[in-house]
Structure 1
Amino acid sequence: MTRAEQTTAHSPVPDDALVADSRERAVRSLLGRPQLKRLWSAHLVSGTGDLLALLVLVLLALQAAVAESAFGGGYRGVALTVACVLGARALSTLLFGAVLLGPLTSLTSAEGPLDRRWTMVGADGFRLVLLILAPLWIDWTPGSAVAVLLVTVFLTGVAERLWTICRASAAPALLPPPPPEGASIRPLPDHLDALRRLSLRTTVGALPLAAAVLVTA
């Protein structure tokens, strides 16, 4: 038997249960770090508020569309109004989450001119102002409230993308270092993968929270 065959024969194969346990431990270890836990809490609150705001803007746009008889009125008008709201949000996500992702990432990087923390605070404040003004446009501009609300949806989407880019830029620097024993005891946790899964779980969990708040409000 050659040396290469001996090495292959004695190399341990990671057990699937150990790998799965390592992944879950990696997610839990992220929440055990105070800075990451604060960032995760902010993500949960901001994500819930953003989805709640989108649902409220849909309702406000429907109210304005009914008052204006926009898009022909009736069920067709309702369907087109909802489609326009979702389209405005999708457009902001596409432009500032894909097309302009590179420049925005450079602006909010550690070497960039924008401070990530204050940018996130400013984005939340900007969204709050937009949402305070949103129901007032129906009374202030009854003839064009739908158009103004669609612009509001677009701008809130821009603020959400900027907040998300700042969070995504800041989170990797807060990841824990690898354990001192390395991979000799168990497979090393993939903290970046754990961070992605934690972010996905938080985003998915924010939707029922936002819906529950809207129903109980």
Structure 2
Amino acid sequence: MTRAEQPTAHTTTSAPDDALVADSRERAVRALLRRPQLKRLWSAQLVGGVGDTLALLVLVLLTLQTAVAEGSFGGGYRGAAFAVATVFGARIVATVLFGAVLLGPLTALTAPEGPLDRRWTMVGADGVRALLLIAAPLWIDWTPGNALTLLLVTVFVTGLAERLWTVCRESAAPALLPAPPPEGATVRPLPDHLDALRRLSLRTTFLAIPLAAAVLLVASLFNNLLG
């Protein structure tokens, strides 16, 4: 048998390499949560994300109830659909305004050398959202004629506050990442902490949505039992 006729041994190392890379990324994410400051920031993001999603769902229900009662967008399913679309439209406008159009000035204001203290700005944004959400159900009783407008303003302002909180968090989080070792990457490759931080933030955002829906479902069931 000639050398050309002999079977060639193929070594497939791509699958194990991919598994090692995935495992390394997971360990990098878990390592971030072992840092106390980053863990507190992650906990605040999770709680704030659940609260923000829950608040948006409640505002959708309040706006839908008010619009149907007043007939602001007409009757039937079309009027209800317009009411829901208006809520999400107001939220999208707020997100685009502070998340894209004014992102540069906001980032400069909340930078380490900027005039705004990030911690107190985040506390203030949470306080504004809490006050607006407490007042939101009361608009229906206090000012029934303007309740729909005030609810949409509440949606818009809470969206602005959420974006401002997010800008502060994204500005503060990289400074809390662990510093590279003195030897650098000469001993072993350095983990990509920024990539791990992005993965952690994305997973937290996706986790907040079903948690908020579950909280709203439990609250609704509990309210039905009491009623």
Q: CA deviation at 1:57?
A: 0.2
Number of residue pairs aligned between Structure 1 and Structure 2: 205
Superposed CA RMSD = 1.6
Larger relative contact order (CA 8 Å, sep ≥ 6):
1
Q: Distance in 1 between matches of 2:49 and 2:18?
A: 33
Corresponding position of 1:8: none
Corresponding position of 1:88: 90
Corresponding position of 2:80: 78
Q: What pairs with 1:15-164 in structure 2 (closer than 5 Å)?
A: 15-164=17-166
Q: CA deviation at 1:187?
A: 3.4
Q: Distance in 1 between matches of 2:89 and 2:188?
A: 47
Q: Distance in 1 between matches of 2:87 and 2:76?
A: 17
Report the identity percentage. Answer: 79
Structure 2 gaps, min length 5: 1-13, 220-227
Larger Cα-atom Rg: 2
Q: CA deviation at 1:205?
A: 0.1
Q: Distance in 2 between matches of 1:112 and 1:143?
A: 42
Matched-pair contact (CA < 8 Å) for 1:22–1:187: no
Distance 1:42 1:202, change over 3 A: same
Q: Distance in 1 between matches of 2:145 and 2:21?
A: 59
Q: Any idea what SS the aligned residue of 2:73 has?
A: helix
Distance 1:55 1:212, change over 3 A: same
Matched-pair contact (CA < 8 Å) for 1:52–1:211: yes
